[in-house]
Structure 1
Amino acid sequence: MSDIVARASVTQPVFYQYFSSKQAAYDELVGMFAQRLRQAITEARLPAGLEGAELAERIQGGVLRLLGILQEDSNLTRIGFFQVAEAEALKDELVTMIADNVRAEQQAGLFRPEISPDWLAQSLMGIIERFTRQMPDAPQQHAIAEFITRLLLDGIRHQRPAS
């Protein structure tokens, strides 16, 4: 406990004014972490009418924001995204939120209707989870966000000119 209050630059009595125990502080941190991820996904929903570079930039920005939250504090990410009992439930909730966004974006005409929103959301979560484990620095995060965006928007098939 003394390490926690020293790093927070508060006294133990001040700490206990806000938290009844170390567990309460831990639960609060994990809850705030999960809420930030939920908020990032909510804010990533795309409005109708986006096209081309603007669409790609908005998607890349959303992916970058998720990566940024996950990279901000590697210890908190390890706990909140991988170790706590609720981590899998959180990821399932985030997948559902992403799939709901994709459904709305399909209805807005942004994405092909035959793509499964659920599978796309599961795929995106898997990609993000794997990259998060690598703990990339800020320039790598931008490159990864761009890669993920290009992969999801353009796929891997070589685009041949129409004949």
Structure 2
Amino acid sequence: MVTALPSSASQDARLTKGERTRLQLLEVAAAEFAERGFQHTRISDIVARAGVTQPVFYQYFASKQAAYDELVGMFAQRLRLAITQARLPGDLKGAELAARIRQGVGRLLAILQEDPNLTRIGFYQADEAQALKDELVAMIADNVRAEQQAGLFRPALSADWIAESLMGIIERFTRQTPDAARQQALAEFITDLMLDGMRKRQGP
């Protein structure tokens, strides 16, 4: 199960008090790490912002590093799951194919935007950030190869280059922090670009 950090997590009535406190500490830690960086964030900064004591922090996390590692791991797992779920079945055609690609791209953009602090940590700050992006590129390339074998895309195209291009486009647009409406427009643009390219269409 992939844990999320919605802004209202610490207020969710379905959670126990301890679960709410733990999520609140993760939310605050993500904000502190994103703003200050790992090295310049202190546990005292986190607990002061969360309105709890240091002993409370240590009830849930063995160290600052443990909280940081959990945030990075949570972020990575959400992206891995989204890419796994984005693999296309081989029987898609036409508008349905484009819609499914748009949905997958839109989901990646949404994950990267729904918690900017987590994205800043996991995609840009963490030592593991580049390794994560390389892993995601490899996963996307595996998807593309399977989809090529299913006859959805031209087999002559390099799956690795397609994956690298897609990741580069998504990473660039993520830095612009688009809102929900712009995310949808970007997902449509990226899908159209990947499927149809820039060449002017010839008449019938």
- The Cα offsets for residues 62-104 of structure 1, whole Å up to 9 and x where unpaired, read as 1111111111121221111012111111000000000000000
Q: Who is 1:64 aligned against?
A: 106
1:53 aligns with 2:124: no
TM-score, scaled relative to structure 2: 0.75
- Measured in 2, the distance between the counterparts of 1:147 and 1:104 equals 23
1:143 aligns with 2:180: no
Within the candidate set 123, 137, 140, 1:98 is matched to: 140
Q: Who is 1:153 aligned against?
A: 195
Q: Who is 1:19 aligned against?
A: 61
**Unaligned stretches of 5+ residues in structure 1:** none
- Measured in 2, the distance between the counterparts of 1:8 and 1:67 equals 29
Q: Secondary structure at the match of 1:161?
A: coil
Specify the code of the residue in structure 2 equivalent to 1:87: A
Within the candidate set 118, 122, 129, 2:164 is matched to: 122
**Quick one: structure 1 residues 18 and 110, their matched pair in 2 at CA, closer, same or farther if it must change by over 3 Å?**
same
**1:4 deviation in Å?**
3.2
- Measured in 2, the distance between the counterparts of 1:138 and 1:10 equals 34
Number of equivalent positions: 162
- The Cα offsets for residues 17-66 of structure 1, whole Å up to 9 and x where unpaired, read as 22101221011001100110111000000011001111111111111111
**1:6 deviation in Å?**
6.2
CA RMSD across the alignment: 1.6
TM-score, scaled relative to structure 1: 0.92
- Measured in 1, the distance between the counterparts of 2:147 and 2:52 equals 46
Specify the code of the residue in structure 2 equivalent to 1:114: A
- Measured in 2, the distance between the counterparts of 1:18 and 1:77 equals 22
Identity %: 77
**1:148 deviation in Å?**
0.1
Within the candidate set 75, 88, 91, 2:130 is matched to: 88
The one of the two structures with greater contact order (alpha-carbon pairs below 8 A, sep at least 6) is: 1
**Unaligned stretches of 5+ residues in structure 2:** 1-42
- Larger Rg computed on CA atoms: 2
Specify the code of the residue in structure 2 equivalent to 1:98: I
Segments of 4+ moved more than 6 angstroms: none
- Measured in 1, the distance between the counterparts of 2:164 and 2:48 equals 41
- Measured in 1, the distance between the counterparts of 2:176 and 2:160 equals 25
Within the candidate set 49, 53, 71, 1:29 is matched to: 71
Q: Secondary structure at the match of 1:48?
A: coil
Within the candidate set 81, 88, 110, 2:152 is matched to: 110
